């Protein structure tokens, strides 16, 4: 009996030690604050209704009648989806489960862009999930471009407070004339306030929504220091709970027509069917959301371009306005 008790105690110690190692490898684990579920305000639609295959068609798999989609990177190709329409302002969200295992060099992006219509003057709002290299955990990078300002990156990076490979988590972009808010599981992780300092680089033209997975070895791993290792392929990103609500743009590639339609959306922004996130409740963060934002930035953010004095001898003007 004593022998069994000793073995049981030893097993408990080993299990507990293993859990401690898992926690320590991911850094401290903090309980997230409670926030309102903004994603509950908008309907979910099938991916087959809202998006089309952009590239790598054999690596895009729709499931559950199109309610879910897998996008896959393997040795033959990456893959991606693009929204069937373009939008000016709006609410864009998807639940994502990331590939597990060794994922250095793998990037899954959920983002908005109009580079196809404005190749030299484009806008972009990015979630970029970067596969791990050294710390054995995924990193979340957010970024924003306006009017083609790709030479001035506005990146911020956070470590997630959960394992994004175990279950689905919601990644959300709210974009209107007041601010851009990046949310994870409804918790704001970044807010870009539309003020005079940021105005020249604030996204101002209609964009499509994208979800892609690709080999970013050269870009995401110090010039290829930790490239994608395809012996761990396929790398499968699973998507669900798609929400796309915004001011719908006409299907045209004419920049002039696009600009006129954008102006119409702004002029008629009081019409909820045109701009569903222009109401007072979307103009600023609530108290709960501010608490969530401060929690993320104090406990999980480890890089902001506004703190990078090595990169910028003179910081971008909006950094001094924050």
List all residues 6 or more positions away from 23 whose beta carbon is below 8 Å from its beta carbon. Answer: 29
Please indicate, yes or no, if residue 21 is contained in any of the structural domains. Answer: no
What average pLDDT does range 167-172 have in this prediction? 98
Range of the domain at 136: 38-249+256-307
pLDDT band at 163 (very low <50, low <70, confident <90, very high): very high
Q: Which token pair is 19? A: 């859990």
Could you tell me the sign of the dihedral formed by the alpha carbons of 280, 281, 284, 288, in that order? Answer: positive
Contact between 164 and 150 (Cβ < 8 Å): no
Q: Which of 105-114, 143-152, 181-190 has the lowest mean pLDDT?
A: 143-152
| pLDDT tens digits, 42-81 | 999 999 999 999 999 999 999 999 999 999 999 999 999 9
Instruction: Say if residue 238's pLDDT is above 50.
Output: yes
Q: Which residues on neighbouring strands pair with residue 126, listed in sequence order?
A: 111, 143
Give residue for tokens 């004095």: 309
Q: Which of 51-55, 126-130, 303-307, 318-322 has the lowest mean pLDDT?
A: 318-322
Contact between 237 and 70 (Cβ < 8 Å): yes
Number of domains observed in the structure of the chain: 1
Catalytic residues: 124, 128
Please indicate, yes or no, if residue 316 is contained in any of the structural domains. Answer: no
List all residues 6 or more positions away from 272 whose beta carbon is below 8 Å from its beta carbon. Answer: 278, 279
Please indicate, yes or no, if residue 14 is contained in any of the structural domains. Answer: no
Please indicate, yes or no, if residue 276 is contained in any of the structural domains. Answer: yes
Please indicate, yes or no, if residue 312 is contained in any of the structural domains. Answer: no
Three-state DSSP at 243 gives strand
Please indicate, yes or no, if residue 26 is contained in any of the structural domains. Answer: no
Q: DSSP characters for 101-126?
A: S--TTEEEEEEEE-TTT-TTS--EEE
Q: Which residues on neighbouring strands pair with residue 310, listed in sequence order?
A: none
147 versus 106: the higher-pLDDT residue is: 106
| pLDDT tens digits, 248-289 | 887 766 666 665 666 556 555 444 446 789 888 999 999 999
Percent of the chain at pLDDT exceeding 90? 67
Please indicate, yes or no, if residue 98 is contained in any of the structural domains. Answer: yes
Please indicate, yes or no, if residue 313 is contained in any of the structural domains. Answer: no
CATH classification of the domain holding 69: 2.60.120.200
What does pLDDT average to over the chain? 86
Cα separations in angstroms, 322 against 162, 203, 204, 205, 261: 28, 18, 21, 24, 31
What was the pLDDT predicted at 186?
Answer: 98
Cα separations in angstroms, 93 against 47, 105, 184, 211: 12, 24, 9, 11
What average pLDDT does range 226-254 have in this prediction? 89
**Whole-number Å distance between alpha carbons of 176 and 173:** 10
């Amino acid at each position: 009996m004593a022998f069994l008790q000793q073995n049981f105690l030893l097993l408990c110690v080993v299990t507990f030690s293993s859990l401690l190692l898992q926690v320590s490898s991911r850094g401290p684990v903090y309980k997230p604050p409670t926030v309102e579920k903004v994603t509950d305000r908008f309907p979910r639609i099938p991916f087959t209704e809202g998006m089309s295959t952009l590239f790598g068609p054999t690596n895009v798999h729709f499931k559950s009648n199109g309610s879910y989609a897998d996008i896959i990177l393997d040795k033959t190709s990456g893959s991606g989806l693009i929204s069937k329409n373009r939008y000016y302002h709006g609410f864009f969200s998807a639940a994502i489960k990331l590939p597990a295992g060794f994922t250095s060099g793998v990037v899954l992006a959920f983002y908005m862009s109009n580079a196809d219509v404005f190749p030299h003057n484009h806008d972009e709002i990015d979630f970029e999930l970067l596969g791990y290299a050294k710390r054995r955990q995924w990193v979340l990078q957010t970024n924003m471009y306006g009017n083609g300002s790709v030479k001035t990156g506005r990146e911020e990076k956070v470590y997630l407070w959960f394992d994004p490979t175990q279950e689905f988590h919601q990644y959300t972009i709210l974009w209107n004339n007041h601010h851009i808010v990046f949310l994870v599981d409804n918790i704001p992780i970044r807010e870009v306030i539309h003020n005079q300092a940021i105005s020249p680089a604030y996204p101002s033209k209609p964009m499509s929504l994208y979800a892609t997975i690709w080999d970013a070895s050269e870009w995401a791993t110090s010039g290829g220091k930790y490239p994608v290792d395809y012996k761990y392929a396929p790398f499968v990103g699973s998507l669900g709970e798609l929400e796309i609500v915004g001011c719908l743009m006409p299907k045209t590639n004419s920049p002039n027509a696009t600009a006129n339609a954008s102006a119409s959306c702004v002029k008629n922004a009081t019409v909820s069917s045109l701009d569903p996130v222009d109401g007072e409740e979307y103009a600023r963060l609530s108290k709960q959301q501010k608490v969530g934002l401060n929690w993320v930035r104090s406990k999980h953010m480890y890089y902001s371009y506004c703190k990078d004095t090595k990169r910028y001898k003179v910081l971008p003007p909006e950094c001094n306005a924050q």
